[in-house]
Amino acid sequence: MAASVSLNKYVSATGICSRREADRWIEAGRLRINGQVAVKGNRVEEGDQVTLDGAPLGERPPAVYLAFHKPAGVTCTTDQRDPDNITDFINYPERIFPVGRLDKASTGLLLLTNDGDVVNDVLRAEHGHEKEYIVTVDQPVSDRFVRRMGSGVPILGTRTRPCTVERLGDRSFRIVLTEGMNRQIRRMCEYLGYRVLTLKRVRIMTIELGDLPVGAYREIPSFREFFE
Protein backbone atom coordinates (compact mmCIF):
# COMPACT_ATOMS: atom_id res chain seq x y z
CA MET A 1 0.00 0.00 0.00
CA ALA A 2 1.16 3.54 -0.72
CA ALA A 3 2.05 5.85 2.17
CA SER A 4 -1.67 6.60 2.44
CA VAL A 5 -4.82 6.40 0.33
CA SER A 6 -8.14 8.18 0.57
CA LEU A 7 -10.69 6.31 2.68
CA ASN A 8 -13.26 5.98 -0.10
CA LYS A 9 -10.63 4.52 -2.43
CA TYR A 10 -9.46 2.11 0.27
CA VAL A 11 -13.01 0.90 0.90
CA SER A 12 -13.89 0.54 -2.80
CA ALA A 13 -10.68 -1.44 -3.35
CA THR A 14 -12.03 -4.18 -1.07
CA GLY A 15 -14.73 -4.80 -3.68
CA ILE A 16 -17.74 -4.16 -1.47
CA CYS A 17 -18.90 -0.90 -3.06
CA SER A 18 -18.05 2.02 -5.32
CA ARG A 19 -16.28 5.15 -4.10
CA ARG A 20 -19.59 7.01 -4.28
CA GLU A 21 -21.24 4.47 -2.01
CA ALA A 22 -18.24 4.61 0.35
CA ASP A 23 -18.75 8.38 0.61
CA ARG A 24 -22.36 7.77 1.62
CA TRP A 25 -21.21 5.33 4.30
CA ILE A 26 -18.75 7.92 5.61
CA GLU A 27 -21.50 10.55 5.78
CA ALA A 28 -23.72 8.09 7.65
CA GLY A 29 -21.00 7.45 10.24
CA ARG A 30 -20.74 3.75 9.39
CA LEU A 31 -16.96 3.71 8.90
CA ARG A 32 -14.27 3.99 11.56
CA ILE A 33 -10.49 4.19 11.37
CA ASN A 34 -8.74 2.74 14.42
CA GLY A 35 -11.96 3.09 16.37
CA GLN A 36 -12.59 6.72 15.46
CA VAL A 37 -15.63 7.69 13.37
CA ALA A 38 -14.35 8.56 9.91
CA VAL A 39 -15.10 11.79 8.07
CA LYS A 40 -14.68 12.79 4.44
CA GLY A 41 -11.07 13.54 3.63
CA ASN A 42 -9.64 10.89 5.97
CA ARG A 43 -6.77 8.83 4.62
CA VAL A 44 -5.75 5.28 5.47
CA GLU A 45 -2.14 4.45 6.27
CA GLU A 46 -0.32 1.13 6.52
CA GLY A 47 -1.41 -0.67 9.69
CA ASP A 48 -4.68 1.24 10.13
CA GLN A 49 -7.79 -0.79 10.90
CA VAL A 50 -10.92 0.23 9.00
CA THR A 51 -14.30 -1.10 10.13
CA LEU A 52 -17.78 -0.95 8.63
CA ASP A 53 -20.58 -1.09 11.20
CA GLY A 54 -18.00 -2.43 13.65
CA ALA A 55 -16.75 -5.27 11.41
CA PRO A 56 -13.22 -5.15 9.93
CA LEU A 57 -13.09 -4.83 6.15
CA GLY A 58 -11.81 -7.96 4.46
CA GLU A 59 -9.06 -8.41 1.93
CA ARG A 60 -9.71 -7.55 -1.68
CA PRO A 61 -11.23 -10.56 -3.49
CA PRO A 62 -10.32 -11.57 -7.07
CA ALA A 63 -11.80 -9.04 -9.50
CA VAL A 64 -15.05 -9.93 -11.24
CA TYR A 65 -16.31 -8.23 -14.43
CA LEU A 66 -19.67 -9.24 -15.90
CA ALA A 67 -21.82 -8.25 -18.87
CA PHE A 68 -25.49 -8.81 -17.98
CA HIS A 69 -28.62 -8.67 -20.15
CA LYS A 70 -31.00 -6.84 -17.82
CA PRO A 71 -34.68 -7.67 -18.18
CA ALA A 72 -37.42 -5.11 -17.67
CA GLY A 73 -38.61 -5.01 -14.07
CA VAL A 74 -35.20 -5.46 -12.43
CA THR A 75 -33.94 -2.49 -10.39
CA CYS A 76 -30.28 -1.47 -10.61
CA THR A 77 -29.74 -1.47 -6.85
CA THR A 78 -28.05 -3.78 -4.39
CA ASP A 79 -30.52 -2.72 -1.67
CA GLN A 80 -32.25 -5.95 -0.71
CA ARG A 81 -35.19 -4.03 0.70
CA ASP A 82 -36.19 -3.60 -2.95
CA PRO A 83 -37.81 -6.92 -3.94
CA ASP A 84 -36.69 -6.44 -7.56
CA ASN A 85 -33.04 -5.67 -6.74
CA ILE A 86 -30.40 -6.87 -9.18
CA THR A 87 -28.34 -8.69 -6.53
CA ASP A 88 -31.07 -11.20 -5.74
CA PHE A 89 -31.96 -11.60 -9.42
CA ILE A 90 -28.44 -12.53 -10.52
CA ASN A 91 -27.60 -14.44 -7.31
CA TYR A 92 -23.87 -14.30 -8.12
CA PRO A 93 -21.64 -16.08 -5.56
CA GLU A 94 -19.51 -12.96 -4.97
CA ARG A 95 -20.70 -9.53 -3.92
CA ILE A 96 -21.03 -7.40 -7.08
CA PHE A 97 -22.74 -4.16 -7.98
CA PRO A 98 -23.82 -2.42 -11.19
CA VAL A 99 -21.63 0.11 -12.99
CA GLY A 100 -24.10 2.87 -13.79
CA ARG A 101 -27.72 1.96 -14.25
CA LEU A 102 -30.64 1.29 -16.55
CA ASP A 103 -34.05 2.39 -15.33
CA LYS A 104 -36.43 -0.35 -14.26
CA ALA A 105 -38.41 -0.43 -17.51
CA SER A 106 -35.31 -0.52 -19.74
CA THR A 107 -33.43 -3.60 -20.90
CA GLY A 108 -30.06 -4.53 -22.32
CA LEU A 109 -26.39 -4.38 -21.46
CA LEU A 110 -25.37 -3.65 -17.89
CA LEU A 111 -21.86 -4.03 -16.48
CA LEU A 112 -21.33 -5.41 -12.98
CA THR A 113 -18.18 -5.76 -10.92
CA ASN A 114 -16.71 -6.03 -7.44
CA ASP A 115 -13.95 -3.59 -8.46
CA GLY A 116 -15.17 -0.35 -6.93
CA ASP A 117 -11.99 1.46 -7.91
CA VAL A 118 -12.83 1.31 -11.62
CA VAL A 119 -16.43 2.50 -11.44
CA ASN A 120 -15.69 6.22 -11.57
CA ASP A 121 -13.57 5.71 -14.70
CA VAL A 122 -16.51 4.13 -16.50
CA LEU A 123 -19.05 6.71 -15.38
CA ARG A 124 -17.04 9.92 -15.63
CA ALA A 125 -18.73 12.01 -18.32
CA GLU A 126 -15.52 13.73 -19.40
CA HIS A 127 -14.17 10.41 -20.66
CA GLY A 128 -16.88 10.38 -23.31
CA HIS A 129 -17.40 6.61 -23.34
CA GLU A 130 -19.99 5.62 -25.93
CA LYS A 131 -23.23 3.89 -24.97
CA GLU A 132 -25.52 2.68 -27.76
CA TYR A 133 -29.28 2.13 -27.51
CA ILE A 134 -32.13 0.88 -29.69
CA VAL A 135 -35.37 2.72 -28.96
CA THR A 136 -38.99 2.41 -30.09
CA VAL A 137 -41.44 5.26 -29.65
CA ASP A 138 -45.18 5.85 -29.90
CA GLN A 139 -45.25 7.70 -33.25
CA PRO A 140 -43.33 7.84 -36.53
CA VAL A 141 -39.71 8.96 -36.29
CA SER A 142 -39.44 12.04 -38.50
CA ASP A 143 -36.36 13.65 -40.04
CA ARG A 144 -36.94 16.61 -37.72
CA PHE A 145 -36.96 14.32 -34.67
CA VAL A 146 -33.67 12.70 -35.73
CA ARG A 147 -32.08 16.07 -36.40
CA ARG A 148 -33.18 17.63 -33.10
CA MET A 149 -32.25 14.58 -30.99
CA GLY A 150 -28.81 14.55 -32.57
CA SER A 151 -28.12 18.24 -32.09
CA GLY A 152 -28.90 18.31 -28.36
CA VAL A 153 -32.05 18.77 -26.30
CA PRO A 154 -32.60 20.97 -23.22
CA ILE A 155 -33.33 18.76 -20.18
CA LEU A 156 -32.56 18.91 -16.47
CA GLY A 157 -31.39 22.51 -16.64
CA THR A 158 -28.75 21.89 -19.31
CA ARG A 159 -28.45 20.77 -22.91
CA THR A 160 -27.51 17.27 -23.96
CA ARG A 161 -24.36 16.77 -25.99
CA PRO A 162 -24.64 16.32 -29.75
CA CYS A 163 -24.98 12.61 -30.47
CA THR A 164 -25.44 10.10 -33.28
CA VAL A 165 -29.07 9.28 -34.09
CA GLU A 166 -30.17 6.97 -36.91
CA ARG A 167 -33.70 5.97 -37.88
CA LEU A 168 -34.04 2.17 -38.05
CA GLY A 169 -37.76 1.80 -38.79
CA ASP A 170 -40.99 3.74 -38.82
CA ARG A 171 -41.01 4.07 -35.01
CA SER A 172 -37.52 2.98 -33.99
CA PHE A 173 -34.07 4.56 -33.91
CA ARG A 174 -30.52 3.99 -32.76
CA ILE A 175 -28.79 6.55 -30.53
CA VAL A 176 -25.19 6.72 -29.27
CA LEU A 177 -24.59 8.84 -26.15
CA THR A 178 -21.36 9.95 -24.51
CA GLU A 179 -23.01 11.07 -21.26
CA GLY A 180 -25.48 9.55 -18.86
CA MET A 181 -28.07 11.89 -17.38
CA ASN A 182 -30.94 10.43 -15.38
CA ARG A 183 -33.51 8.90 -17.79
CA GLN A 184 -31.82 10.92 -20.53
CA ILE A 185 -33.29 9.32 -23.66
CA ARG A 186 -36.80 9.24 -22.20
CA ARG A 187 -36.55 12.91 -21.21
CA MET A 188 -35.16 13.88 -24.64
CA CYS A 189 -38.03 12.12 -26.38
CA GLU A 190 -40.60 13.65 -24.03
CA TYR A 191 -39.27 17.13 -24.80
CA LEU A 192 -39.94 16.50 -28.49
CA GLY A 193 -43.43 15.12 -27.84
CA TYR A 194 -42.61 11.42 -28.09
CA ARG A 195 -43.06 8.62 -25.56
CA VAL A 196 -40.56 5.78 -25.30
CA LEU A 197 -42.13 2.32 -25.57
CA THR A 198 -38.98 0.20 -25.36
CA LEU A 199 -35.37 1.10 -24.65
CA LYS A 200 -32.54 -1.40 -24.98
CA ARG A 201 -28.83 -0.74 -24.46
CA VAL A 202 -26.74 -2.80 -26.88
CA ARG A 203 -23.21 -1.49 -26.33
CA ILE A 204 -20.97 0.19 -23.75
CA MET A 205 -17.61 1.29 -25.17
CA THR A 206 -16.51 -1.77 -27.19
CA ILE A 207 -18.45 -4.25 -25.03
CA GLU A 208 -21.50 -5.46 -26.96
CA LEU A 209 -24.64 -7.19 -25.77
CA GLY A 210 -24.56 -9.51 -28.76
CA ASP A 211 -26.73 -12.61 -28.46
CA LEU A 212 -26.55 -12.82 -24.67
CA PRO A 213 -29.98 -14.12 -23.54
CA VAL A 214 -32.24 -11.94 -21.42
CA GLY A 215 -31.46 -12.47 -17.74
CA ALA A 216 -28.08 -14.11 -18.44
CA TYR A 217 -24.53 -12.85 -17.84
CA ARG A 218 -21.05 -13.60 -19.15
CA GLU A 219 -17.62 -12.86 -17.76
CA ILE A 220 -15.58 -10.28 -19.65
CA PRO A 221 -12.00 -8.93 -19.44
CA SER A 222 -11.23 -6.13 -17.01
CA PHE A 223 -12.79 -2.74 -17.76
CA ARG A 224 -9.40 -1.21 -16.89
CA GLU A 225 -8.01 -1.82 -20.37
CA PHE A 226 -10.30 0.95 -21.66
CA PHE A 227 -8.70 3.65 -19.48
CA GLU A 228 -5.00 3.11 -20.11
Residues designated catalytic: 103
Query: CB–CB of 26/40 below 8 Å?
Result: yes
Query: Which residues make Cβ contacts (< 8 Å) with residue 157, sequence separation at least 6?
Result: none
Segment (H or E) for 32: strand 31-33
Number of H helices, E strands in the chain: 6, 17
How many angstroms separate the Cα of 81 from the Cα of each of 76, 84, 98, 99, 128? 13, 9, 17, 20, 33
Residues 6+ apart with CB under 8 A from 190: none
Q: What distance in Å separates the CA atoms of residue 179 and residue 175, rounded to the nearest whole number?
A: 12
Sign of the Cα torsion 206, 72, 91, 55 reads positive
